Amino acid sequence: MSVIIFVELDNGSIKKSSLEAIYYGSKVAESTQTTATVLAIGSAEESALKEAGKFGAQKVLHANDGKLSHENSLAYANVLAQAVEQEGSKIIIMAKSGLGDAVAARVAAKLKAGIVSGVTELPDTSSGFTVTRAIYTGKAFASVELNSDTKVLVVRKNAVEAVATEASASVEVFAPTLQDSDFAATVKNVEKASSELSLTDADIIVSGGRGMKGPDHWDPLLELADALGAATGCSKPVSDLDWRPHHEHIGQTGIKVAPNLYIACGISGAIQHLAGVNGSKCIVVINKDPEAPFFKAADYGIVGDVFDVLPRLTKAVEAAK
């Protein structure tokens, strides 16, 4: 029997958020005296999959059927269910994402499992199985006791600090039975909009609001992001005004992020935006208004005009390299 962790791949490598899920799963396996097995679906080199061992996995099951080359939550859930049956797993773990949530819901329904999404801490197994999850857009936390035989946990980014070792996992080919009904709708082609860093996987994000004063004034922000190797984001009003592309919109109705460092430039801090960034480890706010609500949520605050502060920060970052 083992804990099984479903991971997402990006260009043949395991996504950072999934590496955190593997580490989380390995700790759950330790507490329940089982082992940690990873399921990877899609094209990947064996050497990349062995990296799962550094985060506590003993084994990787690799399903690389050509039909599974594009994300398909229905097919992936059925593949995961077959892996669960083969391994005799009672605990299923994955990182929180659009795909993760969809696969988790489908596999939980298929296996009649209890499911908790947005998990923020390791479970308490001292008496039963209790997990903590974020509620009310991260403003509060709920303790949930899972009594079902099979359990599905969708882990929020930064729930644990993943620590790598020099270990390596074994990799086994997994050949699931695929059904035509799994592919009622198929993806023919995927074209990425750009080579920009993914907001959901970025360690550092530099984000701008209406304080940037228009679509033609973003160079200072972009230069800082480039110096830091960061992704760029924006508030909802900025995307609504078409100052920045809509895929950069961060907030309750946009993308929810959890980077190690989030730098907010000229963003007042509406509750809807805060709901999208409250998983960040460190928040730095730059705003000329000392009463901006965002300062209350900040770890560090700089009161000043973004057009004065950003070039200085960029210069300091470049000097420190």
Binding positions for FAD: 210, 266-273, 287
List, as residue ranges, the binding site.
Answer: 210, 266-273, 287
Q: How far apart are CA 174 and CA 172, in angstroms?
A: 6
3-state SS, residue 57:
coil
